[in-house]
Structure 1
Amino acid sequence: MTVDVTVVGGGISGLACARAIQDAGKTVRVLDRGRRVGGRLSSRTIEGRPVDLGASYFVVGEAERFGHVVADWEERDLARPWTDTFVVVDADGNPSTKPGPMRWAAPLGSRSLALDLADGLDVVSERTVTRVEPSVVDGEPAGEVVLAMPEPQAARLADVPFGEGAAWEPVIAVVLRWDERRWPADLHGAFADGDADVSFLADDGDRRGDGAPVLVVHTTADRARQHLDAPDEAIAPVVAATRRLLRIDAEPASALAHRWTFARPAATTGRPFFRSPGLSACGDAWGESSAVRTAWTSGDALGRALAAS
């Protein structure tokens, strides 16, 4: 059956787009290559608990429509305010506080938010798309087609410069578990100022609310580029940097690395989405800054525009 819109990509942007289309009374199908939706809202169960491997948190800001979604998540205990204060750690491990907007987290893991958005949608998982043209996916009629994915991946499927060829940065997320907490109780999260190996550290037990002695450490783009073919090789330098920055006096009990080849755009377009007849695109590279709210807002705006056309 041909639908009004086919969305390729089951991350938060693609799911927000599909929901807006379905809520407007149009038919939509989501094709995703993974076993479960989520994209960079990725959580993995490690030693019996979900750990966020992708987005570290999200901020509502002035995104009013996204704010309504977050309020509903909070009411149903899917999301909770986490912290409005991180620290910045210098090369010698000296911290300084960095207040900012409220950061939100998902007690069940960030993928739970994507699964909630996908509830009631026609989602086809483990469906790898190889070629897209206007209104056509892999040679079959597909209605309006939306590519909800990083621009380098979209460019492999269609000959359209969606993001004007903007560069994307890689990240390797390293999950480190200790037998007990060995860093300050009020850490929450930390930006590493000028470190060659680490860009951000999140206290996953604090973020999750269960107090587990687990850190999720994101590498710098330069460190990630060195290990894209073998992500586990990033673990040793990340452990060393983490112990130095947080002054931890013991090796972690376990460690796991996850590669994100296209973690975030180096720059955004400033426009809400890409639109052309039969083929459009949305995601966190569209808007003023790369963020979870940007991805949701881009998909929602495109979905409403398609439904109205």
Structure 2
Amino acid sequence: MVVVGAGIAGVACAVELTRAGVPVELRERGRVPGGRMASRRFDGRPADLGAAYFTVDDPDFAAVVDRWRAAGLAREWTDTFVAYGPDGRREVPGPVRWAAPCGLRSLVEHLARELPVTVDRLVLGVEPGPAVDGGRCAAVALAMPGPQAALLLDPALTEATRAVQAQRWAPALSGVLRFPSRAWADFRGAFVNDHPLLALVCDDGDRRGDGAPVLVAHTTAEFAGRHLTQPTAAGPAIEEAVRDLFGLPEPADLVHVHRWTYARPVEGPTDRTHHLDDDGIGLAGDAFGGRSRVQAAWRSGRDLGRALATRLG
């Protein structure tokens, strides 16, 4: 059994298969597990580049989160963001957002700690049978955005192809900005409404709990779409927009821009948590059901793993 993609959906799928006694190979094209729960270190300090936080309302996912908290990997962050818009700034209460002191990627790594993960492994194709890169296996799970899965699928796999074609995704850029000091008014996270460039800005020092003068900005899909070929060139515009929003007098001394071609699903199935067809091809990820995207991705992978274990068992 092969699972392609070591984000939280792929890892949750592999965990269920392993618990059921199904031999699993987990393959990841990147250098580390994590997927869009990505973090990167700058001068030894992690900053989250993908998902900004996660929320919890599923009891089974809550049990996973409790284990993360007990291990010191996750903490409750805030239940209040602010929103900036044409009418100024206002507070926006909501569910408790959770954060990870070592970066959200550490949570995926914790789940995957006993799994056979092969990184830097690019899968080139999935064929009927099923087969991965020409090698036969009992089944295949693709835990990734639909457009990426579509590139791997043989046209003969019509059910899976239709399932991924039903998904629509939006891009985003994430900008990490480190400033000389914390010169902004107190906030945790800020939704930015009706802005041509910014969609969300998080105080990463507050989120991480170390007070570092670091902000992480997430752009609109429209702005990102114009800069996907050269994301680094968008850095000055992102910095200027953040400084203008918060009235910051000093420039950032570090600016890093990360490109997410498929940052978030904007259209996908809401009536099921995963796809599994008669060809033995499964699909999982946050495109399947649920607004709480980290939780939805975990539940999607968990449910696909259980369905595959039942079929293969």
If the TM-score is normalised by the length of the shorter chain, which range does it land in? over 0.9
1:3-82 residue pairs with structure 2 within 5 A?
5-61=1-57, 63-82=58-77
Q: Which residue of 1 aligns with 2:220?
A: 220
Find out whether 1:147 has 2:142 as its counterpart.
yes
1:70-219 residue pairs with structure 2 within 5 A?
70-91=65-86, 94-134=88-128, 135-158=130-153, 159=155, 160-185=161-186, 187-219=187-219
Q: Deviations over 1:256-299 (max 9, x none)?
A: 10000110111231121011131110000001336100000000
Cα distance in 1 for partners of 2:212, 2:290 equals 35
- How many correspondences in the alignment? 302
TM-score by length of 1: 0.95
Question: Runs in 1 of length 4+ with deviation above 2 angstroms?
Answer: 161-166
Instruction: Quote how far apart the aligned CAs of 1:165 are.
Output: 3.4
Unmatched 5+ stretches in structure 2: 156-160
Cα distance in 2 for partners of 1:23, 1:91 equals 52
CA contact (8 A) 1:83 1:104 kept: yes
Cα distance in 1 for partners of 2:214, 2:204 equals 5
SS of alignment partner, residue 215 of structure 1: strand
Q: Deviations over 1:181-236 (max 9, x none)?
A: 01123x00000011000000000111111100000000000010111010012112
Cα distance in 1 for partners of 2:274, 2:292 equals 13
Instruction: Quote how far apart the aligned CAs of 1:64 are.
Output: 1.4
TM-score by length of 2: 0.94
Cα distance in 1 for partners of 2:248, 2:89 equals 14
In structure 2, give the amino acid aligned to 1:57.
Y
In structure 2, give the amino acid aligned to 1:181.
R
Cα distance in 1 for partners of 2:22, 2:269 equals 28
CA contact (8 A) 1:15 1:299 kept: yes
CA contact (8 A) 1:235 1:255 kept: yes
In structure 2, give the amino acid aligned to 1:65.
D
CA contact (8 A) 1:133 1:279 kept: no
CA contact (8 A) 2:81 2:189 kept: yes
Cα distance in 2 for partners of 1:258, 1:91 equals 28
Cα distance in 2 for partners of 1:221, 1:142 equals 38
Cα distance in 2 for partners of 1:31, 1:290 equals 25
Q: 1:102 to 1:290 in 2, by over 3 A?
A: closer
Q: Deviations over 1:85-121 (max 9, x none)?
A: 00001257x3100000000001101110111111111
Cα distance in 2 for partners of 1:249, 1:139 equals 57
In structure 1, give the amino acid aligned to 2:68.
W
Cα distance in 1 for partners of 2:67, 2:188 equals 24
Q: 1:106 to 1:98 in 2, by over 3 A?
A: same
SS of alignment partner, residue 72 of structure 1: helix
Cα distance in 1 for partners of 2:197, 2:107 equals 30
SS of alignment partner, residue 232 of structure 1: helix
SS of alignment partner, residue 236 of structure 2: helix
Cα distance in 2 for partners of 1:203, 1:133 equals 45
Identical pairs, percent? 46
Q: Deviations over 1:143-173 (max 9, x none)?
A: 2100000000000000322233322111100
SS of alignment partner, residue 228 of structure 1: coil
CA contact (8 A) 2:81 2:190 kept: yes
Q: Which residue of 1 aligns with 2:274?
A: 273
In structure 2, give the amino acid aligned to 1:292.
V
CA contact (8 A) 1:131 1:138 kept: yes
Q: Which residue of 2 aligns with 1:304?
A: 306
Q: Which residue of 1 aligns with 2:158?
A: none
SS of alignment partner, residue 259 of structure 1: strand
In structure 1, give the amino acid aligned to 2:274.
F
